[in-house]
Amino acid sequence: MKKKTGDYNPDVELSKGADLTASSYDKTQGVSVEAGKVTVGGMPGVAAITGIATGRDGAGIDGTINLWLSIFRFKRPDGTVNHVAGWNIMLALKAGQTALETAKGFAAYINAGTRPYTAKASGTRIAAKIAITYTEK
């Protein structure tokens, strides 16, 4: 997966990262992206979650919130190129679920995963944030 190339520029490489996008398919709980880039250099991507969830009733996409981290590549100081896979994270909501519970659900899922990301949830019942940081595990 890693290919060796030269000309490492730390300013360029550390600013590379995954694009964070989000979408809500719930009637009463929304999500928006406040910081849309999760960089190799440590800048977190941030999504804001608002409202109390209507929740999921049966199969399908209704009653869910989705976060997407795009695929990207960056060069390491030794000249190798690292390819980081994209990640689509869907969380099915329960009726009455708070924004903070949703943010904590995303954080728990991301932190338990094998992908090179960590997450931290913060906020209140009706306005919460999830901050996602790139960290090589």
Question: What confidence tens digit (pLDDT) does each residue in 21-51 have?
Answer: 999 999 999 999 999 999 999 999 999 999 9
Q: How many domains does the chain have?
A: 1
Contacts of 100 (CB under 8 A, 6+ apart): 121, 123, 124, 125, 128
Which 8-state DSSP code applies to residue 43?
A: P
Q: What is the pLDDT of residue 136?
A: 83
Checking DSSP bridges between strand 64-69 and strand 87-92, what pairing results, if any? antiparallel
Helix-strand-coil percent breakdown of the chain, rounded to 5?
15, 45, 40
Q: What is the pLDDT of residue 106?
A: 98
* Cα-Cα end-to-end distance for the chain: 17
Q: What is the pLDDT of residue 4?
A: 56
Is 14 in a helix, a strand, or coil? helix
Q: pLDDT tens digits for the chain (137 residues)? A: 555 555 889 999 999 999 999 999 999 999 999 999 999 999 999 999 999 999 988 888 999 999 999 999 999 999 899 999 999 999 999 999 999 999 999 999 999 999 999 999 999 999 999 999 999 86
Q: What is the pLDDT of residue 58?
A: 82
DSSP letters spanning 72-130: EEEE-TTSEEEEE--EEEEEEPPTT--HHHHHHHHHHHHHHSSSSEEEEEEE-SSEEEE
Indicate the pTM of the whole model: 0.92
Per the structure, the complete domain to which residue 65 belongs is given by 3-134
